[in-house]
Amino acid sequence: MWDKLKKLFSKEQPVEVQVDIPFLITRDWRKGMWVVCNGLPAILVTIADPCEIHYVDKKTGETTNISFVPITALRQAKFTDIPECRLGISEEKAKELGYGT
Amino acid sequence: MALNFPDTGENLALEMIVNKTAAQNLIIRLYKNNITPSDTDTAATYTEAVFPGYAAITLTGASWNAAAAGSIAYSAQQTFTCSGAATDDIYGYYVVQSVSGTLLYSERDGSAPFAVRVSGDAIKITPTIGAN
């Protein structure tokens, strides 16, 4: 009985509640980085929202179009996404820079 | 646009800071292919200008001003002047080491391309590197 009374008149005890907070995903964006947007290879030119990207022709490696897109529309390019003629580094080096397969 | 140090240029700069690799004079060259600099670039990525009167310019170490406020600038503006009829469209410049030829950095002009067509057309650059 005393226990029940104590519980009734005691301060509310904090209750631990587990809340599902979505992870805040941050990426290590950098200027000059190869990205993919709408399935096309591009180079990240400014890091902002929207950010400036330059789409690159897969055969010539030259710029085809300049666009401003939400940064959430980008993903880092994979090794195979980068135009071959623009690959001045080895696959190993590319992996170190995050361009995995 | 901002300077872009590709992976090779970043590594080279780091090695020069700690005196693992000796510094060299730099050479500034204009490029005429429609390239946006990226971190996988090498000097071979760029197609050098060929208009009449064009010549790459050597930037000698002693001619750089003292660094200040996280930035270092060359003492004088450099001018590439065309001396005849030409068809080059210039998109920017790239800087390599004078002996190794390794690409250190490059920059695409924000309003590229610049059409070089007649004698007297000129492109002026004051080389500047910022560390901020």
- pLDDT tier for residue A24 given thresholds of 50, 70 and 90: very low
In order along its 132 residues, chain B shows pLDDT tens digits of 889 999 999 999 999 999 999 999 999 999 999 999 999 999 999 999 999 999 999 999 999 999 999 999 999 999 999 999 999 999 999 999 999 999 999 999 999 999 999 999 999 999 999 987
Q: How far A74 CA sits from the closest chain B CA (Å)?
A: 16
Rounded distance between C-alpha atoms, residue B90 and residue B86, angstroms: 11
Neighbouring CB atoms inside 10 A of B53's CB total 15
The Cα-based distances of B61 to A81, B12, B13, B74, B131 in angstroms read: 39, 16, 15, 9, 18
Q: Is residue A8 part of a domain?
A: no
Residues of B in contact with A98 (CB under 8 A): none
The predicted model scores a pTM of: 0.87
Q: How far B75 CA sits from the closest chain A CA (Å)?
A: 28
Residues of A in contact with B1 (CB under 8 A): 45
**Which residues contact residue A35 at a Cβ distance below 8 angstroms, ignoring those fewer than 6 apart?**
A41, A42, A43, A44, A53, A74, A75, A76, A77
CATH code at position A61: 2.30.30
Q: Is residue A11 part of a domain?
A: no
Count up the domains in chain A and report the number: 1
Q: How far B3 CA sits from the closest chain A CA (Å)?
A: 9
Selection from B128, B105, B124, B83 nearest residue B38 by Cα: B105
Range of the domain at A39: 17-96
Chain-chain contact of A33 with B38 (C-beta, under 8 angstroms): yes
Residues of A with CB under 8 A from a CB of B: 30-34, 43, 45, 54, 56, 61-63, 82, 86-89, 93-94, 97, 99
Six-digit token string for B110: 């924000």
CB B36 within 8 A of CB A61: no
Q: What is the largest CA-CA distance in chain B?
A: 46
Rounded distance between C-alpha atoms, residue A4 and residue B15, angstroms: 73
DSSP B11-50: HHHHHHHTTSS----EEEEEE-S-----TT--GGGSPBP-
Six-digit token string for B44: 């071979």
The three state secondary structure string of B64-96 is ECCCECCEEEECCCEEEECCCCCCCEECEEEEE
Is the interface score ipTM higher than 0.85?
yes
Residues of B in contact with A34 (CB under 8 A): 38-40
Chain-chain contact of B40 with A31 (C-beta, under 8 angstroms): no
Q: Is A76 helix (H, G, I), strand (E, B) or coil?
A: strand
Q: What is the CA radius of gyration of chain A?
A: 25
Q: Is A70 helix (H, G, I), strand (E, B) or coil?
A: coil
Q: Is residue A68 part of a domain?
A: yes
Residues of B with CB under 8 A from a CB of A: 1-2, 4-8, 33-42, 44-45
pLDDT in tens, A26-83: 568 999 999 999 999 999 999 998 999 999 999 999 999 999 999 999 999 999 999 9
